[in-house]
Amino acid sequence: MDYNILVSSSPPLDKKKGIRKSRKTKFKDIPKDVLKKIVAQLASKSFIDFMNAKQTSKEFLEVANDKYVLQHVNVREFEPISWFHNEKAIKFLNSCKECENPEALFKLGMVEFFNERKVESGLQLLKKAAKKGHVGAIYVSGIILICYGGQLKEEGIGLLSTCKSLRSRLVECRKDAKQIISNIWINNYIESSRNDQKEATCNCNGGRRSTAWNMDDHVDPNSLCDGCLWNLEARKFCNMLRT
């Protein structure tokens, strides 16, 4: 169903006068489940339109805080620097987080892990967002696990390898993470270990060049095996943290 039709359909034409009659949509006659989907669809596209819709009718206002709606609210444009000292913004984002909004889980996870040094809870938020398919969260949580090394490194490589589109979105994911990090004070750094890199025994470009660490973004990610690719990306991410 195109829920936009219910919201923005044109009023009927008065053929005698050649003008359109004004018509108010009777939102109270729309089933609540349908109304939730209308507001959720609107909220997923634009936060501003979502806020405006809440003022349209009491019916919209009633469903605006529904768990389903808050799961879909677009909070991508929320920058940490703008809501650190804004109690309403923090409260709203936490409400979205409690409703498992993937972007809210990702942003708050980044802040908790890298700024507030809440390492365990921050990583858990990132993992929750990752389970919901948030590509940025898959990227960051996977890189963190790789940097932890040992068995967690294998878990991180496994997590990153499950996202088939990630190889083609590495620069985008690193850029998105950098945008958030640039708006917070970093109090928790992670380190990638050169000594923990994959041995140069594979047949990918990383193996043939003896090491993947010195490769730049012009190297085709698809020409590297998982071990070489994610070891390389972990180092790039850690370098990015310090710049």
**Per-residue pLDDT tens listing for the chain (243 residues):** 333 433 343 344 455 555 444 445 566 778 889 999 999 999 999 999 999 888 888 888 899 999 999 999 999 888 776 676 788 888 999 999 999 999 999 999 999 999 999 999 999 999 999 999 999 999 999 999 999 999 999 999 999 999 989 999 999 999 999 989 988 888 888 987 655 444 445 667 655 554 444 545 566 777 888 888 998 899 999 999 887
Per DSSP, 197 falls in state S
Decide: 173 and 139 in contact? Cβ < 8 Å: yes
What is the Cα–Cα distance from 209 to 216, expressed in whole angstroms?
Answer: 13
Region of 133 on the Ramachandran plot (φ > 0 left; ψ -120 to 50 alpha; else beta): left
Closest by CA position to 212, among listed 127, 201, 98: 201
What is the Cα–Cα distance from 33 to 243, expressed in whole angstroms?
Answer: 47
Q: What is the pTM of this model?
A: 0.80
Catalogue the long-range contacts made by 27-33 (C-beta closer than 8 Å, 24 or more residues apart). Answer: 27/56, 27/57, 27/59, 27/60, 28/59, 30/6, 30/59, 32/63
133 CA to centre of own chain: 9
Sequential DSSP letters for 8-35? HPPPPEETTTTEEPP----GGGS-HHHH
